[in-house]
Structure 1
């Protein structure tokens, strides 16, 4: 196997990381390998056994410079001064066929200096969960990290549920730079390192940015688009801490995330989010909190901090309008409006209010709007019909509202109960449900498996999701 590594992060000062190799595992077995993504990354495969060894951590590919990255972060609003890759190793970077730089990282690859007492491992369930959901997000057209490989380790690891089968995920990202990467140096007063990081981030992600505040402006714009995209498919990240917030504007760290079935603005699935901080409808607010932490870090680079604070404040205060604009564009398309007007927000919100009142299925309701079965999602059909009359009148002037709706509304998502069924089967060695999900979710706007679009029965509802650490 040949991976054309072209590493840049490893050339940064030692303060940014600890160089170390992944910990080997007992009996690696390849569970999934994303050949299309490997081709995009220009990885050449001669022997699949080499893939298993490299992506389990048992061998270090030629040209790799393995390291664990340092970062900090606000977790549920509280600052943790040192986090870092506690169970991940960055193997290195490649330039893909589009000449875009990509990280290749092993997740679950053993202890690092940042493990904070953890075992540095991942168990099979969260590995397959992240594999499925990250690839589903990619197919939905939402910026995301991606899954290259999943390897069983042949070793059991201890979690609250008992001994569980271990696994390693190979994750691909535009980078693993997080808001927390900036925070760690800012809080330590290491402005030289902060400046180096800022220069690196601009060169790698936003070469058009003219300096730290312009970097902030670009990151805020990307994140505004991202959170609107999440909400448009009913996605709840679950742990929007600053260490899980990529400055590249990609979805990263699929822990206790979930897609809603019944719509509710206050929906929470994360078992550790007891105060509903990261509820579905609160995600825009949490995004602004995260961007404010990035702004606070970047201000440390300026001699005139008052002027920098004023500029940063203006950038952050512009975010509600940015998010609202991105949200309106996404949700207007979901009801067949290609070019929305500000007044369309009221029409969209009135539908969401009806959906919340009646517990309508988020995905299926929007998908059904392009046909004639949406009323079946509501118990108060008269109220929906009244809304529908307004809707029909509004889209009558649109060129092809059905096509707009079908392009904006997926037919199938990774529903929680299907994910749990998949994981339970995989623990017994049955990967058929995993493969079934991967096939259907590869084309989410085309319904190829009706059963996977069906909401859970009462006995199948998954009320909480877990991070797996």
Structure 2
């Protein structure tokens, strides 16, 4: 595994050298063989636990990255990797670099008194959820491995410890820009922005202010696409802080995330989201807000006159809503197989959403039933039979193919995830995960095990997820 450094030249105290803390008895619990093959990671099976626990430090010049963050709207100027170590980057077949990071690998200079460890449950959740999101066709960080530490992590209650290995196209966050802007480090900001453009937006060839205005526009485009894709499958991130917003448009951090079962824009599962800031239906507003924080951080790169810089940035930020509304409408149209735009579509979609909430219909299973009803393989839910009369008039022979491509038959149900986590906590493995992975390999297709994973828990209104730190 050929690791290269990536962030050490950005600015002082941006990437601080720090080694993972060794653990007592590392045991490999999960290994993503296909991902390892993709990046030509040829670590011998007998060495994987040692390498991806952080115990093997011979060839590693690990760093902890600094970043700021608006956490539930409150700004923290110095957060950083408090329990993560970036080992370096590996190249794919196209010679693009991808970060490899250990999470739960011990305290760093950013730990603020924490132990820097991760419990087994959150590590397994990140692996399962990120790989499920990838299978659903949603941009996301990926997981290469989960290693049990052989140590106890003292939370409430005490739990087995683990380290998860995460792969991302980069770990450049909105909070990364905030960190440097807060320090008044314009040179560091420029270095970071240029690295972000080179990695994620190489088509940007402009110079001067136009270069960084184009960067903001590109980030907004990717954030719009990401949030629309989340809402297409019913995903609720749960902690959309600016430090969890990657400028690449990949999903980052699977702590208090969950999947919506019964449709309701106000759905919240995160135990720390008391006000519903990151509710299912509020995610586009927060993504817009986060992009505005990025725009503020870019002001020094735009113009020495702050007012003029704001005047140049504001139209780009304001365009978020128009882009989102356009893509959001297109998403609903595709979920319903509406081939050609019609004046009645908005009313048709609005009526459906009202019925979904009023009758507490399951989001995934309802759209799966509507899709399969077009070929006679399922019935339209009884609560939607009258509505479906008008809907059918707006479909044609292409509608099934369109709907099947965007409406998953299976998602990582909350009760399934909890059972998998419970099995790992009890035994260090999960037979359920093997079956789940088989079904999730193609979540838009039928399979022998599909029906078992389409079951909905009786009531998940009181279900709560936790940050995992």
Q: Tell me the TM-score normalized by structure 1.
A: 0.94
1:135 to 2:131 alignment: yes
- SS of match in other structure, 2:158: strand
Counterparts of 1:103 and 1:395, CA distance in 2: 44
- Counterpart contact for 2:20–2:105, Cα < 8 Å: yes
Counterparts of 1:277 and 1:126, CA distance in 2: 22
Q: 1:183 aligns with which of 178, 181, 189?
A: 178
- Counterpart contact for 1:69–1:84, Cα < 8 Å: yes
Deviation per CA, 1:56-76, whole angstroms, max 9, x where unpaired? 1111363x4310000001011
Q: 1:52 aligns with which of 49, 52, 57?
A: 49
Q: After TM superposition, give the deviation of residue 463 of structure 1 in Å.
A: 1.5
Q: After TM superposition, give the deviation of residue 9 of structure 1 in Å.
A: 1.9
Q: After TM superposition, give the deviation of residue 451 of structure 1 in Å.
A: 0.8
1:36 to 2:34 alignment: yes
TM alignment of 1:61-140, pairs within 5 A: 62=59, 64-140=60-136
Deviation per CA, 1:71-115, whole angstroms, max 9, x where unpaired? 001011111110000000000111112333211000000000111
Q: Quote the residue 2:297 is aligned against.
A: 297
Change (3 A) 1:83 1:388: same
Q: Quote the residue 1:337 is aligned against.
A: 338
- Counterpart contact for 1:329–1:339, Cα < 8 Å: no
- Counterpart contact for 1:216–1:294, Cα < 8 Å: yes
Deviation per CA, 1:201-236, whole angstroms, max 9, x where unpaired? 112211222311110000000000000000000000
Q: After TM superposition, give the deviation of residue 300 of structure 1 in Å.
A: 2.2
1:193 to 2:161 alignment: no
Q: Quote the residue 2:197 is aligned against.
A: 202
Q: Quote the residue 2:11 is aligned against.
A: 13
- SS of match in other structure, 2:324: helix
1:354 to 2:355 alignment: yes
Q: After TM superposition, give the deviation of residue 155 of structure 1 in Å.
A: 0.3
Residue correspondences, number = 456
Q: Which runs of 5+ in 2 are unaligned?
A: none
Deviation per CA, 1:153-188, whole angstroms, max 9, x where unpaired? 00011112x110000000000100000000011122
Q: Quote the residue 2:446 is aligned against.
A: 447
Q: Quote the residue 2:155 is aligned against.
A: 159
Deviation per CA, 1:282-317, whole angstroms, max 9, x where unpaired? 011001110000000001222132222112110111
Q: Quote the residue 1:375 is aligned against.
A: 380
Q: After TM superposition, give the deviation of residue 349 of structure 1 in Å.
A: 2.4
Change (3 A) 1:105 1:338: farther
Q: Quote the residue 2:287 is aligned against.
A: 287
Deviation per CA, 1:117-174, whole angstroms, max 9, x where unpaired? 11100001011111001001101110000010001000011112x1100000000001
- Counterpart contact for 1:88–1:106, Cα < 8 Å: yes
Aligned-residue RMSD, C-alpha: 1.6
> In terms of mean alpha carbon deviation, does 171-180 or 436-445 score higher?
436-445
Q: After TM superposition, give the deviation of residue 439 of structure 1 in Å.
A: 2.2
Q: Tell me the TM-score normalized by structure 2.
A: 0.94
Change (3 A) 1:52 1:339: farther
- Counterpart contact for 2:339–2:394, Cα < 8 Å: no
TM alignment of 1:320-335, pairs within 5 A: 320-335=321-336
Q: After TM superposition, give the deviation of residue 437 of structure 1 in Å.
A: 2.1
- Counterpart contact for 2:5–2:88, Cα < 8 Å: yes
- SS of match in other structure, 1:152: strand
Deviation per CA, 1:335-366, whole angstroms, max 9, x where unpaired? 11355457533322221111011100000000
- Counterpart contact for 1:417–1:461, Cα < 8 Å: no
Change (3 A) 1:24 1:338: farther
Counterparts of 1:202 and 1:28, CA distance in 2: 38
- SS of match in other structure, 1:369: helix
- SS of match in other structure, 2:8: helix
Q: Which runs of 5+ in 1 are unaligned?
A: none
Q: Quote the residue 1:226 is aligned against.
A: 226
Q: Quote the residue 1:147 is aligned against.
A: 143
Counterparts of 1:143 and 1:441, CA distance in 2: 16
- SS of match in other structure, 1:59: coil
